[in-house]
Chains A and B, each alone.
Chain A
Amino acid sequence: MSSTKRYWKDLGELHQQPDAIKGRENEFPQDLAIDQVLGNSSLTGASTGRRDFLKFLGFGIGAATLAACETPVIKSIPYVNKPEDITPGVANWYASTFYDGEDFASILVKTREGRPIHIKGNPRFGINRNPALPKGSINARMNSSVLSLYDGARLTGPVAKGSEAPTTWADTDKAIAAGLAAAAGKRVVILSSTVISPSTQAAIAAFKAKNATAEHVQYDVISYGGVTGANLKSFGKRVFPSYDLTKADVIVSVDADFLSSWGSTSENTWQYATRRNPDLAMNRHIQFEARMSMTGANADVRVPLKISELPKAVVALHAHISGNSAGADAAMMKATEGAAKALMAAKGRSVVLAGSNNEGVQVLVNSINSILGNYGSTIDLDAHTHFKQGDDAAVAQLVKDMNAGTVGALFIAGVNPAYSLPNAAEFKAGLGKVGLSVSFSGYADETASLCNWICPDHHYLESWNDFHPKVGHYALAQPAIRPLFNTRQWQESLLVWSGSASTYYEHIRSVWQANMANRGPEMGLFEDNWNMAVHNGVLTAPVAPAAAPAVFAGDVAAATAAAAKASTGAGDFELALYTTEAIGSGQHANNPWLQEMPDPLTKITWDNYVCMAPADVEKLGLNMYLGEQAPASLVTVKAGDNEITLPVVPTPGQRSGTIAIALGYGRGENGEKVGLAACVTDHNGDFKPVGKNAYVFTRLSEGGVNYDVLNVSVTATGETYPVAITQTHLTAMDRHSVVKETSAATYKAGDKRAYNHPHELAVHEDVNGDGVINAQDKKPVAEFDLWEEHPVEGVGHRWGLSIDLNGCIGCGACITACNSENNIAVVGKDEVRRSREMHWLRIDRYYSSATTKETAKKDGLGKIDMYLQMEVPEESPSVMFMPVMCQHCNHAPCETVCPVAATTHSNEGLNQMAYNRCIGTRYCANNCPYKVRRFNWFNYVSEKFGEVNPAWDDLGRMVLNPDVVVRGRGVIEKCSMCVQSIQAGKLAAKKAGTPVIDGSIETACSAACGTGAIVFGDLNDKKSMVRGLADSDRSYHMLEEIGVKPNVNYLVKVRNTEEAAAHYA
C-alpha cells in the first residue's frame, strides 16, 4: 500500500503559493551567478557580485595551484626479465685484468646496475696479490682507469681523416682492405706496445698470414731496451726478469724507482712491504739517486748522487763486489762501500736494481747480481716476465723507412708515438708518406689525428682479453659493461681484416682451447678451466724448475766502458726524466682523478715542473716558497735544440746540480681531443694542455732510449707561474705526537717507552706506590676523560683503522680509491691552488729538518730561531708518509661545536656527517685538530667545474657510486669510513646469520692498500687484525694529549738505519 502522505518544505508550499511552486522547479532557491561569470553574456553587463568574483577567483587560483603541485614523475623502469645476478642496489664484482702496455694487475671491477664504478686489486689471485693480507696491490692509475671509460672525448665510431662524423665499420673495413691491397709489396707494420696476450699474438699472426709483408713492431713508451738488451748480452735471453723482493734482505737500488715506476710495480710494492714489518725480518734498502723519488723516500739510507755519478756508482759497486777495481772512481768507491758490504753479507738474499736504460750499466748490474748469487733466488730469468719487449732499434728503423716511403701500411695500437717518440717530428713527417695509416686509439690523439683512419678500440672494461704476464701465469679480462659506443676491439679488427669471421671472444676461447690441449689431460675439461679462469681472472700453470741458474756471460770491460760514456756531462745541470705516480707515461693524463692526485713528494697537482735542489733554487734567485699567492719561477730548460719552459719547484733531497722533469704531461698540444682533463682552462683563461711535453728531451742511444740528459742549461725567464700544492709546509716541526719514528735497533731493544712514549699527566694520588705523592705519579693521558665516555668498548661494533707508517710507501692509490668510492668532487687547479681540494684522505709528507728540539737545546738555540730552522728541510732529508683521514674521535671536537647537530657520533664509533642538516658554519672544520673536514666552497657539480669534474656531464656521472650522495654547495664533508660498505657488510652478515667476519668489510682505502698499511676492522672484535695492531707496542694516536680519543691509530715508523748505517762505518 503506497503512502499518500505528502511532505512539504515550508508554509508557502503547503498553501500552494505561486512563488513556491515556481521555486520548486529550480534546484537552488536563489539564482546562482554561474551564467553571468561563465556564460557568454558580456562582462560589463554581468551582475556578478564582488564576493562571488572573489570566490571564483580564489577557487580558480587554488585549483590551478593544486593541479600544478603534482610531484614530478621519475620513471624507474624495472627489469621485465630480471637478468641473472643483477639485483638493483647490490653490487657485482667481476674479476678482470688491467694492462695498459706498461703496468699489469689482476683486478676486481665493481659494477652497479651494469655500470663499472670502482676497481680494486684482486685479493685472491694474480701476481699483484699480497698473500699475507690478502689484498691485490694496484696503483692509482689502475683504480682510476674506471673513470676513463666515461670520458666524453672517446670516439664513438670509426673515423676517416678529415671527417668529424664517425662512419660505419663496413665502410671502414672496405677502405682498409683497399688500402692494404695498395700497400702490397711494401712494409705493413703493426706498431704496438708490448703485447703479452697470446690471443692478440695469434690475431697478429693471422693478419701476417693474410698479408705477406706484415710484421709486428713493439714499442715501449718508457723503454727498458737497456735492461732486456743487457740480459741478452749477459744470459742470452732478451727478457725482463721476475723479481722476488720478499726474498731480498738487502735491496740496493741505483736510481730504480721500483715502487713507483720501474719494472712490475704492482708486484714490487707488496713484495717490498712484506719485508718492511719490523716484527719480522726487516729488509735493508739503500738507494742511490739524483732526484728524490718515492722509492728513495722510503729507503733506509738514501745517497744523493749526480746523474753522471750514478753509472760510476754501479761501476764502483761492481768493483767492490767483484774485487776488480779497474776503472772505478775513488769517490764512488767510498760512496758505495757500505752498500757493497751489506750486499756481500746477504749473498743470495739481496738484489741490485738500476733504473738506467744504459746497456752497459745493466750488464754490470747483472754481473753484480750474478756474483752475489741472486739469480734463482731474488731474480728469476726462467719464469721471466713478458713485459717490456719493446725494440727501440726496430722503431727507429720503422721511422726511417716511413720517411723513405717503403712503409705501405701502418697500424698503431696502444701507443702514441707522435707524442712520445724522441724523434716525434720525423715520425709525423713519415706518417704522411705512409699509404694507409690506421690508429686503434680510443681518442683522436696526437698520433691518431694524423692517421688516415681511426678504428677506435674498446675501453679495456668493455673488452675480452687474455694475458701471459710471465711464464706459467695467465690472466683473463672480461667485459664489465657492453661497449658504450660503436667501437671495436683492435684485435677483432685485425681478425676481420684477416678474413676471420669469429669474434675476438671466440678467438680467445679457441686459442685457449688449443693451448690447453697442449697441456695434456691433467688440465681437465676445457669448459671448467675456462669458467674458472673467467671467474678468477687468473690461471696458473706449473713451471718446470730451471735446470741450473743462468750463468753470466757478459763482457764486463765493454760494459764498464759503455757505462763510462753515460757519465760524461759538462753542462750546468744534469736532467733526469721520470714518470710520476699519478700520470705515468702520459696515456692516463686525461683522467681528472689522477691529475688532481697530489704528487707523493712535491704534493703538486695539475702540472709538471722542474724539480731542483733548494740550494740551486736559491743560487739562481728563484722563488723558494710556493703557495696560493706565491707562484713558482719559470725557467727555460734547454738541451741541444730543444727547450721547454716550466715552473721550478724546490725539491728537498734533489742532488744539487741536477734537475728532474716528469714525462707524460703536455698532452693535446696541438688541440687534439685527448680527453677530459688533459687540457684545461688555465689562470689566463686559455684552454691549454696540463704541463709540457718533456719527451722532447729523450734521446735514442745505444741499447735504448735515454732518459738522462747530462748537459742542459737552465735560464730564468723572470716570469712566474701559479702552481697548485696541497701541502705547502715541508717539515713536521719535530712534533712527536704527530709523527713517531724510530730505528730498528731501538725498536728491537723492546722498550716501548723509548720509541713510543705515552703522554702522561701528573695526578694527585700515589700511582707508583712509593708512599709519596709527587711529580712522578703520572697516568697516561688516555685514562683521562673530560666528558662521559661513549659506551664503545665491548658494546657492539667499534669501527677503526690502523695505519702502519712503515707500510705506507706514499703511492696514493688510497686517495683515488676514495675518490671513486665516495664521489669526491674534482675541483681543478685553481681551487687546489687555493687549498680547497676535496680529498677525504690525504697523505701528509714530512721532510726531516737538521734542527730538532734536542739539537736546539744542545746548541743553545733560541726558540724563535729553533722554529725557523725547523721549517727548513735538511739537504738530504728522510721522508715520512702519513695517510690522514677523519680520525673518528670518540670525543670529537667537531661534534660539540656544530650548532645544528649535523655531525654526530654513531654508536659504532663513527663520526657521522648529515649533509642535509649542515648549514655550513665551518666551525667543525676549524675545530678539527687534524684538518680533515672539507667544505663545498662552490657548487662543484656545475658548469664552472664541468671541465674537470666528472659528475657534471651525463657520461661522466655514470661513474658515481649510487650508495653515496653527491654533495651540494655549502656543506661540510669528510671521511665516513665508507659507512655504506659497513652497512652492506653488516647486512650481508645478518642475512648469513653470522657475526661480521674480520676482513669481510673493507674501506676503499684499506682495500686499495696493497702494502697493508691501512687496515680496517672492528676494534671491539678482540681477535680482529685491527685490534691486534691497535694494541701493539707501535700503536699510537695522533695528538694523543689533546684527548679526542680517535678510532684511528698509527704504528710508529721504524727505519732500518742502524743496521744500514753500520755498513757505512
Chain B
Amino acid sequence: MHSEAAIREPLILGHKTYHDITQDIVGPIENKAPRGWYVLTTIAAIIALYGVGCIMYLLSKGIGTWGLNKSVDWAWDITNFVWWVGIGHAGTLISAVLLLFRQKWRMAVNRSAEAMTIFAVIMAGTFPLIHMGRLWVGYWVFPLPNQYGSLWTNFNSPLLWDVFAISTYFSVSLVFWYIGLIPDFATIRDKVTKPGMKKFYSILSFGWSGNAKAWTRFEEVSLVLAGVATPLVFSVHSVVSMDFATSIIPGWHTTIFPPYFVSGAVFSGFAMVQTLLLVMRKVMKLEAYITIKHVEYMNIVIIVTGSIVGVAYITELFISWYSGVEYESYAFINRATGPYWWAYWSMMTCNVISPQIFWFRKLRRNLAFTFFMSIIVNIGMWFERFVIIVTSLHRDYLPSSWNMFHPTWMDVGTFLGTIGIFFTLYLLFARYFPVLALNEVKSILKVSGESYKNEAAKHQHH
C-alpha cells in the first residue's frame, strides 16, 4: 500500500472505518426513506408523467405541435438532445479518464456521475426518436437486411453516425457502470436482512463472491472498459457536433466544432454532477466522502473547460470575420445583435464570464455558490445549443426565408418532462442503489482518509 503526501487534502474526512463506510452507504437503502425523498420523487414523477403525456400527444398529433416552421426545422428538440448528451459526458469522463489517470478523488463521485450519464443519455436518445416525423419507421436508421432490394442506410449522413455513436456510448457506459456496481450490490446483499431485498440484490450482484480472483478480474475488466470508454468520451460529442459541422449552414459549418463540443459537454456534465451531488451529499449525509476538496476539483474542471469553450466562441467570431464570407460573418453578427441577441448574451454570460469567478479559491470552495454556478452553467449550455441551432437556421442564406422560432407549450412540456423523468430515475437510483462506489472508497481509506493521514503524519514526525 502506497502512502500519500501529507499536503494532499484527505479524501475521506473524520475517523471512518470500513464498517462506517458500509453503514453510511447501505444504511439509507436498508432504512425507510426520509419524507423528503417521497416529496421529491412525487414532484419529479408528476413532471415526468406530464412529459410522457406531452410526448404521447406529440406522437398522436404530429411534430406540428412544436413551434417549428419551414425555416427552423430543428429547435428545442435537438437543443435538448445535445444538452442531455453533453450532460452525459461527465460520468464516463470521471470513471474512465480519471481512472486511467489514477485520480483517486473520482471514487466518491463516479457512481452518481455514471448514473447521471446513463439517465441523461436515455433522455438525449428520446429526442432524436420523438423528433422524427414517422417514429414508427425509425428503425430504418439501422442497417437492417430487408427485402426492398438495395435499400440501405446512408453512411454519409452524420445522423447515422449519431445512431452508432450514441448507442455505443450508451451500452458501454451501462456495462461499465453495472460492473462497478456488482461488488457493491454484493455488499448490500450480505448486509440486508429482509428476504425480498436479499433476493433482489442477490440477483443484481450476479453471485459475486468477493474472492481475490474475482477482485483481480474486476480490476482488469474495469481497466479494459475504461480503455474502451475513453475514446468514446471524445467521439460521441464529436459526432454530435458533426451534425452541424458537416452541413453548409453558416454558423454550423465550422471545423472547430468537435473539440469545442467535447469541452462544452464536459463543462455542462460537471455542472450537472455538481447540481446533483451537492444536494445528495447534504441529504444523504455524505459530507465525509464528498468533501469540499471534491467540489473544488470539479470546479477546476469547470473553469478549464469553460475557458476552452470561451476561446472557441471567440475563435468562431474571429474566423467569421477573417474568412471574409458574407454569410458567415452575418450569421455571427446576427447572433450577437439580431433578434436572438438575448440568447447569445445569456450564453456568453453563463458560459464564459461567470465560470471565471472560480479563480477565487474561496468561491470555488463555497458550496452554495457552486450550486448556484452549476445551475447557471446548465442554463448557459442549453442556450449555447439553442443559439447554434436556432440562430443559424432562422436567418441563413436567403433573406426571403428568414423567420423566427416561437416555442409552444409542447416544446416546454417535452423538455420539462425529460427533466422530470431524469430526476425520477436519479431519485430511484439514490434510493435503491449504492450512491458511492463503496468498495472502491474503502480501498483509499487507509491512504486518503483523514484520520489515517493524520496518524501517518504523526509517525513521520517521530
User: Which listed residue (A836, A919, A931, A937) contacts B132, Cβ 8 A?
Assistant: A919
Given contacts A738-B397, A835-B70, A971-B134, contact A901 B64 (CB under 8 A): no
Within the assembled complex, what's the spacing in Å between the Cα atoms of A937 and B72? 12
Q: Which of A842, A901, A918 has the most CB of B within 10 A?
A: A901
Contact with B along A82-101 (1 / 0, CB 8 A): 00000000000000000000
List chain A residues, Cβ under 8 A from B160: 899
| Cβ–Cβ contact B398 & A938, under 8 A | no
Residue of B whose beta carbon sits closest to that of A730: B399
Contact with A along B232-260 (1 / 0, CB 8 A): 00000000000100111100000000000
**A627 CB → nearest B CB, Å:** 6
For residue B43, CB closer than 8 A to chain A, the reply is no
List chain B residues, Cβ under 8 A from A896: 154, 156-157, 246
**A452 CB → nearest B CB, Å:** 47
List chain A residues, Cβ under 8 A from B152: 901
Given contacts A735-B399, A900-B140, A930-B397, contact A836 B69 (CB under 8 A): yes
Segment of B17-25, B328-336, B367-375 engaged in the interface with chain A: B328-336
Given contacts A934-B70, A971-B134, contact A884 B140 (CB under 8 A): no
For residue B285, CB closer than 8 A to chain A, the reply is no
List chain A residues, Cβ under 8 A from B334: 867
| Cβ–Cβ contact B69 & A835, under 8 A | yes
Within the assembled complex, what's the spacing in Å between the Cα atoms of A935 and B337? 30
Within the assembled complex, what's the spacing in Å between the Cα atoms of A628 and B64? 14
Contact with A along B260-301 (1 / 0, CB 8 A): 000000000000000000000000000000000000000000
Segment of A70-78, A286-294, A921-929 engaged in the interface with chain B: A921-929
For residue B420, CB closer than 8 A to chain A, the reply is no
| Cβ–Cβ contact A938 & B397, under 8 A | no
User: Which listed residue (B163, B249, B398) contacts A926, Cβ 8 A?
Assistant: B249
| Cβ–Cβ contact A1044 & B159, under 8 A | no
List chain B residues, Cβ under 8 A from A899: 141, 153-154, 157, 159-160, 163
| Cβ–Cβ contact A918 & B400, under 8 A | no
User: Which listed residue (A733, A837, A919, A1044) contacts B70, Cβ 8 A?
Assistant: A837
For residue B40, CB closer than 8 A to chain A, the reply is no
> Which residues in chain B, 70-89, are within 8 Å of chain A measured between CB atoms?
70-71, 73-74
**A831 CB → nearest B CB, Å:** 7
List chain A residues, Cβ under 8 A from B157: 896-899, 923
Contact with A along B125-156 (1 / 0, CB 8 A): 00010011110011011000000000111101
User: Which listed residue (B128, B131, B151, B330) contacts A733, Cβ 8 A?
Assistant: B330
| Cβ–Cβ contact A867 & B248, under 8 A | no
| Cβ–Cβ contact A919 & B138, under 8 A | yes
List chain A residues, Cβ under 8 A from B439: none
Within the assembled complex, what's the spacing in Å between the Cα atoms of A732 and B400? 7
List chain A residues, Cβ under 8 A from B210: none
| Cβ–Cβ contact A930 & B398, under 8 A | yes
List chain A residues, Cβ under 8 A from B330: 733, 867
Q: Which of B70, B138, B337, B401 has the most CB of A within 10 A?
A: B70
List chain A residues, Cβ under 8 A from B134: 918-920, 969-971
Residue of A whose beta carbon sits closest to that of B159: A899
**B8 CB → nearest A CB, Å:** 49
> Which residues in chain A, 826-847, are within 8 Å of chain B measured between CB atoms?
831, 834-837, 842, 844-846
Given contacts A834-B69, A899-B160, contact A935 B63 (CB under 8 A): yes
Given contacts A629-B406, A896-B156, A899-B157, contact A922 B74 (CB under 8 A): yes
Within the assembled complex, what's the spacing in Å between the Cα atoms of A733 and B156? 33
User: Which listed residue (B153, B248, B329) contacts A1042, Cβ 8 A?
Assistant: B248
| Cβ–Cβ contact B400 & A727, under 8 A | yes
The majority secondary structure among interface residues of chain B is loop
List chain A residues, Cβ under 8 A from B154: 896, 898-901
Within the assembled complex, what's the spacing in Å between the Cα atoms of A868 and B337? 9
**B15 CB → nearest A CB, Å:** 57
Given contacts A629-B406, A835-B70, A969-B133, contact A917 B248 (CB under 8 A): no
For residue B450, CB closer than 8 A to chain A, the reply is no
**A406 CB → nearest B CB, Å:** 58
**A1038 CB → nearest B CB, Å:** 8
Residue of B whose beta carbon sits closest to that of A920: B133
| Cβ–Cβ contact A628 & B151, under 8 A | no
For residue A729, CB closer than 8 A to chain B, the reply is yes
Residue of A whose beta carbon sits closest to that of B326: A735
The majority secondary structure among interface residues of chain A is loop
**B238 CB → nearest A CB, Å:** 17
**A30 CB → nearest B CB, Å:** 44
Within the assembled complex, what's the spacing in Å between the Cα atoms of A938 and B71? 16
**B66 CB → nearest A CB, Å:** 8
| Cβ–Cβ contact B62 & A834, under 8 A | no
Residue of A whose beta carbon sits closest to that of B401: A931
Contact with B along A678-721 (1 / 0, CB 8 A): 00000000000000000000000000000000000000000000
User: Which listed residue (B128, B248, B398) contacts A844, Cβ 8 A?
Assistant: B398
**B151 CB → nearest A CB, Å:** 7
| Cβ–Cβ contact B137 & A919, under 8 A | yes
State which size class the interface on B falls in. Answer: 35 or more
| Cβ–Cβ contact B398 & A884, under 8 A | yes
| Cβ–Cβ contact A970 & B151, under 8 A | no
List chain B residues, Cβ under 8 A from A868: 337
For residue A1039, CB closer than 8 A to chain B, the reply is yes
User: Which listed residue (B62, B329, B398) contacts A931, Cβ 8 A?
Assistant: B398
For residue A430, CB closer than 8 A to chain B, the reply is no
| Cβ–Cβ contact B400 & A900, under 8 A | no
For residue A389, CB closer than 8 A to chain B, the reply is no
For residue B403, CB closer than 8 A to chain A, the reply is yes
User: Which listed residue (B67, B246, B247, B326) contacts A834, Cβ 8 A?
Assistant: B67
For residue B61, CB closer than 8 A to chain A, the reply is yes
List chain B residues, Cβ under 8 A from A922: 63, 68, 73-74, 131, 133
List chain A residues, Cβ under 8 A from B399: 729, 731-733, 735, 738, 846
Within the assembled complex, what's the spacing in Å between the Cα atoms of A939 and B67? 16
For residue A936, CB closer than 8 A to chain B, the reply is yes
**B401 CB → nearest A CB, Å:** 4
For residue A893, CB closer than 8 A to chain B, the reply is yes
User: Which listed residue (A731, A836, A844) contacts B64, Cβ 8 A?
Assistant: A836
| Cβ–Cβ contact B153 & A938, under 8 A | no
List chain A residues, Cβ under 8 A from B158: 897
**A956 CB → nearest B CB, Å:** 21
List chain A residues, Cβ under 8 A from B397: 735, 738, 929-931, 1039, 1042
Within the assembled complex, what's the spacing in Å between the Cα atoms of A672 and B128? 48
Residue of B whose beta carbon sits closest to that of A924: B73
Within the assembled complex, what's the spacing in Å between the Cα atoms of A938 and B64? 6
Contact with A along B324-358 (1 / 0, CB 8 A): 00100110011001000000000000000000000
List chain A residues, Cβ under 8 A from B249: 926-927, 929
Contact with B along A338-370 (1 / 0, CB 8 A): 000000000000000000000000000000000
For residue B447, CB closer than 8 A to chain A, the reply is no
Contact with B along A953-969 (1 / 0, CB 8 A): 00000000000000001
For residue A855, CB closer than 8 A to chain B, the reply is no
> Which residues in chain A, 867-926, are within 8 Å of chain B measured between CB atoms?
867-868, 882, 884, 893, 896-901, 917-923, 925-926
* B interface residues, Cβ below 8 angstroms from A: 61-64, 67-71, 73-74, 128, 131-134, 137-138, 140-141, 151-154, 156-160, 163, 243, 246-249, 326, 329-330, 333-334, 337, 393, 396-404, 406
Closest 8 CB pairs of A and B: A920-B133, A970-B133, A937-B64, A844-B400, A835-B69, A931-B401, A922-B73, A901-B154
22 A-B contacts (beta carbon < 8 Å): A627-B403, A727-B400, A727-B401, A728-B404, A733-B330, A845-B400, A896-B246, A899-B154, A899-B160, A919-B140, A920-B132, A921-B128, A922-B63, A923-B159, A927-B248, A929-B397, A931-B397, A931-B401, A935-B133, A936-B62, A937-B63, A1039-B397
Known: A732-B400, A867-B337. 17 other contacts (CB 8 A): A628-B69, A834-B69, A835-B69, A846-B399, A899-B159, A899-B160, A901-B153, A919-B137, A920-B133, A922-B74, A929-B248, A929-B249, A929-B398, A931-B396, A931-B398, A935-B73, A1039-B398
